[in-house]
Structure 1
Amino acid sequence: MRLSAALHTETAQKPKTAIVMLNMGGPQTVDEVGAYLHRIMTDRDMIQLPVQSRLGPWIASRRTDEVKKKYMEIGGGSPILKWTNLQGSMLTKALDQMLPESAPHKHYVAFRYVPPFTDETFEQLEKDGIERAVIFSQYPQYSCATTGSSLNAIADFYRKRQIPQNIKFSMIERWPTHPLLAKVFTERIKEKLEKFDSSLRNDVLIMFTAHSLPLKAVSRGDTYPHEVAATVAATMNELKLPNPHRLVWQSKVGPLPWLQPYTDDAIKAYSKQGRKHLILVPIAFVNEHIETLHELDIEYCEELAHEAGVIQIERASAPNDHPIFIAALADVVAKHLTNGPRVSKQFLSRCPHCVSERCKSSKEFFRKLCSQSSLKDQTYA
């Protein structure tokens, strides 16, 4: 028994396959808010502002106290790291059972704007002696501003150092129409529909809400809007209920025009139309954070809905640790490990109006990074 435990401990210390979970991240304490906002507002991958080197820090500084207050109202910090670690632990446990040949699997978190930062994560990955690394975006729908920014950070890291030849890399950069993703959103919607009187349940308006995007990015050809819409369509197809639904957009930042209709404006407009029973579904978020816990729950469902005369509004929970969602994560990764592709042709294709040399060089970097050996060498089938 002691030998078995010792062997288990030794194996656990030497993971074979890394699942690197990419996300924006969120400040765990209010003391991190200022630096967090500064990184976002000065990152041209995330948001492009005129005279960004001056305007970005000014916006970040001006918003810091307000955003600190919001984090205090949801418990003093973002729970996104807690949820990501929980999801990662459950994911790798499932993968160990599904794919013992590539086990042990270990999850790593690579946040863009708060610790654990990308550089720290990939340094640790190398120290752990990983043989295979799957870069796995936790944004199901791809955008140059979110997944693209995280991938650019990885490319930046390896431009400063030699790429480890003993690690075989691949990536999952989008998974918007996975059937289990649609199924978990369906279950989350059903949970909230049960809270409405049965006589009006089929008439409740389902409002799918996602983080908005600057129109400049939409016009360039960013795939995010149609991938979000694809998730909505897949969810409604799975739901198989007669409820009306719409896709709306939240969390606009800065002075430039963004994708509309905005979620708050839509709530007010629907109330004026007589639509007084609503469900908000955060369709592009896989765990709770400030956009769900404060913007949706407090600003919209509590304050705005009351002012607008909404009779009943519910907010569907994010996937979080729902068993179907963990099954979705595991299925996405297992199929990728078994069948690839190492890097998708969709990722390697640029937007039609892209003129960014940074984007071009980043895609070329990942094309080379993920083709260091043949697909057959990369699978454990």
Structure 2
Amino acid sequence: MLSSLYKTYSKTSVTNTIKRLNSTMPKKDKNGTAIVFMNMGGPSSVPEVKDFLYQLFSDYDLIPISKNYQPTIAKFISSFRSPKIEKQYAEIGGGSPIRHWSEYQASKVCEALDKTNPETAPHKPYVAFRYAQPLSKDTYKKLLEDGITRAVAFTQYPQFSYSTTGSSINELIRNKKDLDKDDQIAWSIIDRWPKNDGLTSAFAENIQAKIAEFKKEDPDFKEEDLTILFSAHSLPMDVINMGDSYPAEVGATVYSVMEKLNFNYKYRLVWQSQVGPKPWLGAQTADIVEQLNDPGKEKLILVPIAFTSDHIETLYELDLEVIGESKHPKNIKRCESLNGSETFIRGLIEECDHHLKNKTPFHKNLDLDFVLAKKDPNGNAPLRKFFTK
């Protein structure tokens, strides 16, 4: 009798203990975690250029023209500008490489996270572009088809701007409302990472490689004759004057890179890609290059500090226009883009690893970013309701 009671008690105790342990252990989602790289994107082929331009100029968050007539205006602008932009893409090989590099980077991140973060594995790579294939809406449909229930939106704009990351967030929220009314997918977001160690170290390594080229080519090279120009995509002053955090965060990236270079060289932050008649953030990259390159003595290194991979702004605007049309092109080098840099990909992995383990749904400044952009996070952009874990 006593023996029977003891066996029953032991089995019950063991069962209860296992239940208690299971209740305290983190739940592992059998479908794993989607890591979604968000970016502007670029046309992968010349025939995609017109639609890319239409999507871009239709975005009121990026280019505020007219809420009522923006699509009509975008249709006109894209038709008008397509022939010129198509020629530019033809000159850089027939399309943008940004999709290739985004898919490569995302796959490498997920491979590493499966080993470092088994509790959220398997990690599945996705790319969601705002203006090119694969468009954000198509990627969201794919996530639902694949049965994804947890996803991390990982902006590939390291420095936050409402015009870029903010626009992608708004599109993500619209897609969820249209496609995911049952809330199948729980989202969190990495919305900025301007001082990420892998990011800034990769830039520093690529700059040092260009300095080594100058030294090899010119035995009389002197460090005091070198200026590093960090070039970032400019924004209209209308956006900046609302308190957008982009200039400060780009500056933080630049400063972190120069720290790694021990501030051994002169440097300046400049801005590129201005379009339209409105005032934009300056000084403009092309103007500063022309000024410094004119005597023919100064060595210049251009660093695309706000881009994580090559696209039209590096391959055409910097390489063929700014450098190609300069008076002394041999004195200017463009720093390699991050693309497949192992140091950079390590930084991406570390950023995701920290995010998954920290379980913070989004950066504390994101609410303020939307308030200053006159988008109430509790109204038009319900951030706390949308980003949950």
Q: TM-score range by the shorter chain?
A: 0.7 to 0.9
* Equivalent position of 2:311 in the other structure: 289
**8 Å contact from structure 1 (residues 155, 362) kept in 2:** no
Report the AA paired with residue 252 of structure 1: Q
Larger radius of gyration: 2
Equivalent residue for 2:260, pick from 219, 238, 250: 238
1-structure distance, mates of 2:381, 2:363: 11
Report the AA paired with residue 30 of structure 1: V
2-structure distance, mates of 1:92, 1:351: 30
Report the AA paired with residue 255 of structure 2: A
* Equivalent position of 1:279 in the other structure: 301
* Equivalent position of 1:336 in the other structure: 355
Equivalent residue for 2:231, pick from 209, 212, 233: 209
* Equivalent position of 1:21 in the other structure: 37
**8 Å contact from structure 2 (residues 244, 373) kept in 1:** no
1-structure distance, mates of 2:176, 2:149: 17
Residue 57 (structure 1) shift:
3.1
* Equivalent position of 1:59 in the other structure: 77
Deviations 1:328-363 (A, max 9, x none): 000000000001311222111136653346x76353
Residue 127 (structure 1) shift:
1.9
In structure 2, relative to structure 1, the CA distance for the partners of 1:201 and 1:283 (3 Å cut) is farther
* Equivalent position of 1:7 in the other structure: none
2-structure distance, mates of 1:53, 1:320: 33
SS at match of 1:43: coil
**8 Å contact from structure 1 (residues 87, 321) kept in 2:** yes
**8 Å contact from structure 1 (residues 210, 249) kept in 2:** yes
98-107 or 276-285, which deviates more: 98-107
2-structure distance, mates of 1:109, 1:187: 27
* Equivalent position of 2:248 in the other structure: 226
1-structure distance, mates of 2:31, 2:316: 37
* Equivalent position of 1:347 in the other structure: 366
Q: Give every structure 1 segment of 4 or more consecutive aligned residues whose post-TM-superposition deviation is greater than 6 Å.
A: none
* Equivalent position of 1:300 in the other structure: 322
In structure 2, relative to structure 1, the CA distance for the partners of 1:195 and 1:346 (3 Å cut) is same
The TM-score normalised by the length of structure 1 is: 0.88
Deviations 1:42-98 (A, max 9, x none): 211111226645543333222111100000001111111000011011111111111
The TM-score normalised by the length of structure 2 is: 0.86
**8 Å contact from structure 1 (residues 17, 105) kept in 2:** yes
1:152 aligns with 2:152: no
**8 Å contact from structure 1 (residues 221, 352) kept in 2:** no
264-273 or 347-356, which deviates more: 347-356
SS at match of 2:228: strand
In structure 2, relative to structure 1, the CA distance for the partners of 1:362 and 1:179 (3 Å cut) is farther
SS at match of 2:125: strand
* Equivalent position of 1:187 in the other structure: 205
Residue 275 (structure 1) shift:
5.2
2-structure distance, mates of 1:310, 1:235: 25
* Equivalent position of 1:32 in the other structure: 48
**8 Å contact from structure 1 (residues 202, 241) kept in 2:** no
Equivalent residue for 1:105, pick from 92, 111, 123: 123
1:176 aligns with 2:191: no
1:48 aligns with 2:64: yes
Report the AA paired with residue 368 of structure 1: K
Deviations 1:159-204 (A, max 9, x none): 2244444533211100001122110100010111111135425231
**8 Å contact from structure 2 (residues 162, 370) kept in 1:** no
2-structure distance, mates of 1:244, 1:360: 45
Equivalent residue for 2:132, pick from 106, 114, 136: 114
Report the AA paired with residue 230 of structure 1: A
Residue 273 (structure 1) shift:
6.0
* Equivalent position of 1:10 in the other structure: none
2-structure distance, mates of 1:267, 1:82: 30
Residue 114 (structure 1) shift:
1.3
In structure 2, relative to structure 1, the CA distance for the partners of 1:362 and 1:329 (3 Å cut) is farther
Deviations 1:132-178 (A, max 9, x none): 21111011001111111111111111222444445332111000011
Unaligned runs of 5+ in 1: 1-13, 372-377
Residue 41 (structure 1) shift:
1.2
Report the AA paired with residue 334 of structure 2: R
Equivalent residue for 1:316, pick from 332, 335, 349: 335
Aligned-residue RMSD, C-alpha? 1.9
